[in-house]
Amino acid sequence: PFDLEMLKLIFPFAVTIAAVGLIESLLTLNLVDDLTETTGQPNRESVGQGLANSVTGLFGGMGGCAMVGQSIINVKSGGRGRLSGIVASLALLAFIVYLSEYVEMIPIAVLVGVMMMVVIGTFQWCTLRLFGKVPVLDVITGISVAVITLWTSDLALAVVVGVILSALSFAWESASKIYIKQTQNDNGDNIYKVKGTLFFASKEHFQELFDPKSDTDNVYIDFEDARALDHSAIQAIDKLAERYRRAGKTLHLQHLSAECRLLLKTAKNLVEVNILEDPTYHVADDKLA
């Protein structure tokens, strides 16, 4: 009987199937747009697929979605409008209703050969040349999605993992980028405005941005647009202060938080405190636990 318990049982599977179907349809639409140099309507396709599957379910039928392989073969064969899709649907209906007994006589080996030719014809072989040109994390993400799809036969899970890996990759690359903008004051002293996030992944690049030996006698480093996140960031600032001390230069640090000033050792006395302008944020360090 169709009751709340039955709904609880089928709901997770229904959501998974709907997600997989929607993802594959949108992926197919994107590929077809690239091949035909046109712009599709993903919202219209999604609503149409949802309505069609809902009506099909009311009559006890099976849901469906756009298929990558068949669509690409169709486009490469010259199909562009609705007629090609209608003919394919009518042909499939005819095979099921009138020719099913003959279809059952086709050896599995023949069907495997047909599918292999579809794979060969639809695979973008030019992407193999990109492995040495695209970021390593992008390659790992793509391979991970493919392996998970083959291993679990769950496209939805593979897509979720791919999205998570891409998000983590983007966050890592964005956070590890740090750079400086150099200006001078009226006395000719260099002023460096640091922009970005200073933590263990960006500390080495942070050190490379400065050259104490060739710098002016008085140097100002402004952290107003930067954040020191962890103990590695504090060590990087201390190390930079020591480099300027050995070079006989005077270093001034501006706009560091109170926790940064508390954790600094060599550079503690170089920080210029401005209570009204200094930022407030936390630093991940065991000494503050």
pLDDT over threshold 90, residue 192: yes
Give the tens place of pLDDT for each residue, 249-263.
Answer: 988 888 888 878 777
| H/E stretch holding 245 | helix 231-246
Residues in CB range of 227: below 8 A, 6 or more apart:
197, 198, 279, 281
Query: What CA–CA distance (Å, rounded) separates 276 from 273?
Result: 9
If you write DSSP's letter for every residue of 181-237 in order, what string do you get?
A: EEEE-TT--EEEEEEEEESTTTHHHHHHT--GGGS-SEEEEEEEEEEE-BHHHHHHH
Structure tokens at 257: 């938080």
Structure tokens at 130: 């990109």
Strand partners, 182: 192
From CA 76, how far away is CA 121, in angstroms rounded?
9
Are the C-beta atoms of residues 53 and 63 closer than 8 Å to each other?
yes
Residue pair 260/225 in contact (Cβ under 8 Å)? The answer is no
* Percentage of residues of the chain with pLDDT beyond 90: 8
Whether the model clears a pTM of 0.75, i.e. scores above it, the answer is no
User: What is residue 278's predicted lDDT score, i.e. its pLDDT?
Assistant: 66
As a residue count, the chain comes to 289
Provide the β-strand partners of residue 175: none
Which pLDDT tens digit goes with each residue over 10-49? 888 888 888 888 888 888 888 888 878 788 888 888 898 8
Both tokens assigned to 89: 């649907």
Question: Taking the CB of residue 53, how many other CB atoms lie within 10 A of it?
Answer: 19
Domain 178-288 has CATH 3.30.750.24: yes
Q: Do the beta carbons of residue 76 and residue 35 sit within 8 Å?
A: yes
Question: What share of the chain has pLDDT > 70, as a percent?
Answer: 91
188 vs 142, higher pLDDT: 188
Degrees to nearest 5, angle at CA 110 with 107 and 116: 145
Residue range 167-182, pLDDT digits in tens: 888 777 776 688 889 9
**Predicted local distance difference test score (pLDDT) of residue 210:** 92
Residue 9 makes CB contacts below 8 A (sequence gap 6+) with none
Domain with CATH 3.30.750.24 in the chain: 178-288
Q: 80-105 pLDDT, tens per residue?
A: 778 888 888 898 889 888 888 888 88
